[in-house]
Chain A
């Protein structure tokens, strides 16, 4: 499978614990995006990387959230001291970052439940 891969698919954690999610983009893609989707809402942009550089962060990304893409390949999203409001689907997408009409492709997401 050469699509965007996310791990784990589901995560249940207790409030106050730290969690980390992983996204493996399509291999030749140099841009990687994280989104968050809460129940009944559309996905909302969190942050994106070009290669290993984090180029933009949404105001939704509080200081408890940190994202990395150490070698410009896979990315991790860590949430520290989780809160119940962090319960959501976390989605990852990747792209080539070149001009042209290319559809955005997303992974299957990681569903986080904070209890």
Chain B
């Protein structure tokens, strides 16, 4: 059974700092990996999708990397801002799904607080 772990569970940083959030998964036979943002009491906002054949994806100040062989992904946030404060979740797609099966396995998330 796939298990996804996110470390740290919570992180507090001053504004402007660069930071890294970690995600690890026990079964490396994933298809894709996706990072989400969740604001308190809200749904999930998609941030980045990394295909199984890719090693990283970038969007603005966000960069996500994937190392399937070691079962790890990182989300790098540059020049953090108070508006980045939220919970960040990573989720893996099941193997052999062609990326079309959204039966995702999620981690518990990292609660990020960026202080002005």
How many residue pairs bridge A and B at CB < 8 Å?
70
Which residue of the partner chain, among A40, A100, A104, A105, contacts B91 with CB atoms under 8 Å? A104
* Chain A, interface residues (CB within 8 Å), range: 20 to 34
- CB neighbours (8 Å) of A56 from chain B are 103
Contact in complex: A109, B104 (CB < 8 Å): no
Chain A residue with Cβ nearest B103: A45
What mask results when residues 83 to 116 of chain B are scored 1 for a CB within 8 Å of chain A, else 0?
0000001010000001110111111110000000
- CB neighbours (8 Å) of A106 from chain B are 36, 43-44, 46
B41 within 8 A of A: yes
- CB neighbours (8 Å) of B28 from chain A are none
B42 within 8 A of A: yes
Which residue of the partner chain, among A42, A48, A104, contacts B46 with CB atoms under 8 Å? A104
Assembled-state Cα–Cα distance A88/B59 (Å): 31
Q: Taking each of B91, B100, B102, B107, which has the highest tally of chain A beta carbons within 10 Å of its own beta carbon?
A: B102
- CB neighbours (8 Å) of B105 from chain A are 45
B51 within 8 A of A: yes
B80 within 8 A of A: no
A96 within 8 A of B: yes
Contact in complex: A99, B103 (CB < 8 Å): no
Chain B residue with Cβ nearest A92: B43
The 9 closest A-B pairs by CB, nearest first: A42-B106, A99-B98, A108-B43, A106-B44, A103-B49, A101-B51, A109-B43, A104-B102, A103-B46
Report A's interface with B, CB cutoff 8 A: 6, 31, 33, 40-45, 48, 56, 89, 91, 93, 95-109, 111
